[in-house]
Amino acid sequence: MASKEVSAMIKQGFISDPTLSLSFSPSRTTPPRLYSPSSSPPPPPAEPTRPSLNNPTLFEMMSEENLRGSKTMEESRRRTQRRVAKFISELNAYSFKNGGLGPSDVRLTVVSRDGNRVSMDVHRIVLSEKSRFFAENLSQRREKGIAHTVEISECDDIEVYVETVVLMYCDDLKKRLIGENVTNVLALLQVSAAIMFDAGITSCLEYLEAVPWSEDEEEKVVYHLSQLELHGSIPEVLQRVSSEPSTSARSDGILLNLLGGILQAKDDKARREMQTLISRLLREDSLDEDSRFDVSKDTLYQLCHKCLSSLVLCLSEAIGTDGSKRDRGVLMAEIAREADNLQWIVDILIEKRMANDFVKLWADQRELAELHSKIPTMYRHEISRITAQLCIAIGRGSILVPKENRLSLLSTWLDALYEDFGWMRRAYKSVDKKLVEDGLSQTILTLSLRQQQVILMNWFDRFLNKGDDCPNIQRAFEVWWRRAFIRQCTDVEDSSQLQITVCSYPP
């Protein structure tokens, strides 16, 4: 409920005649139920008895469902009564503690939407001092000895209104709110804002600023504070979820630092965990149309060039290293880490639909491909996973590049992929052999028929000699065979039988 509506409702509840109490519920034809919070609630309705049947009828099932709903409502009403009775006792204790206030001179009644009522004997001086709304309205009736009767109708939650009145009598509001949940404090804030209870507003905002929020609570806090017409402390409360308007340069700077830190990480387990985290967050941001944070193409390609330079350096060192100068295991780990970093960046490029330029960039790495061919397979097979990664994306249609770039990619890196495939398959359980083979097949089949023939004839000889250590792209071979021999013959035969007859019909 908006604060203006709550204020208007309370204004309607003020009664000019101090001897009369009215209920603003014109839609009700029966008088609201009256009860005292301290009295015991009426007994629940007796449960109807019915014979036990193995197959109850639809009517019996509906009756049982209605009965369960009635019991749930009754339990909820009892809980409300217990909490209200607790607040009334607390209010009486505060009144007794502050004996200088004298006898109460305002009868405050709160009426819920379902007609339940709670009446409290309170002091005009407390209401007027703590609430600017009550001060304005109760100042009109200052006759000594005359009690005011105030009624607040159509309340969403009686408990919140009664607890707000209790807070007016409390000396240490911050201490009083310790242990409350965020949802309840938001409700107290709404009522406090409606009656202009400034101390209550301040205490609720201080509470919200200090406590942690769950994700659901965060949404509620942002929504409710945006609805309330408050100023001053609200920006401080929302600082944890909002900041100055973000610029693309600022976002790129943050992301460049994060990604660069991951690429230079010393601990492989932590590096992989952060790679997974950042990838998931970027994926979520791409699905959020209102997201203000995204990574630029320039930033990602800057990191790609950095990884490529590191790979060239590592492979050059591997070629010039003999066993006495540097530990082979350390060198192999460095090459694997740099290749894995590049695979991760390429994954992000594919996810962001920015990988088209990388196909040409990778195809142009002839120096790297030459170095790759000069070192043992056990050191270099990680690099071929990047080629497989690109072929899978091209085969799925996730990367759209000209035929020249696709051919250049295979011309530079296909032989290396053939040589490293056995190591890739055995060293990494995460490598899906069929996925790589399907991606490679689809990529080859996007080329011209003559280019398909050259590549597949070369594969045919390799597969006969290598077996499972060579990608099995028989499907691509079959499609090429049909295209080259069967379909062309059929097309010639069909075209020879094709006849077109033209005739004119009389009008």
Model confidence at 217, in pLDDT bands (50, 70, 90)?
A: very high
Residue 498 pLDDT = 41
* Span of 203-212, 405-414, 426-435, 486-495 with lowest mean pLDDT: 486-495
Determine the distance from the C-alpha atom of residue 189 to the mean position of all C-alpha atoms in its chain, rounded to a whole number: 27
Q: What is the pTM of this model?
A: 0.69
Enumerate the β-bridge partners of residue 151: 109
Burial class (CB in 10 A: 0-12, 13-18, 19+), 483: middle
Confidence label for 211 from pLDDT (cuts 50, 70 and 90) = very high
**Model confidence pLDDT, tens digit, residues 277-291:** 999 998 887 766 655
Q: pLDDT tens, 348-382?
A: 999 999 999 999 999 999 999 999 999 888 888 99
Sequence ranges of the chain with CATH classification 3.30.710.10: 74-239
The three-state secondary structure class of 500 is coil
Does the pLDDT of residue 42 top 60, yes or no?
no
What pLDDT score was predicted for residue 220?
92
Mean pLDDT of 263-286: 91
SS3 assignment for 97-142:
HCHHHCCCCEEEEEEECCCCEEEEEECHHHHHHHEHHHHHHHCCCC
Fold of 74-239: Potassium Channel Kv1.1; Chain A (3.30.710)
Confidence of residue 292 (pLDDT cuts 50, 70, 90): low
Residue 175, token pair as written in the block? 């201490």
Tokens standing for 310?
Answer: 């590191």
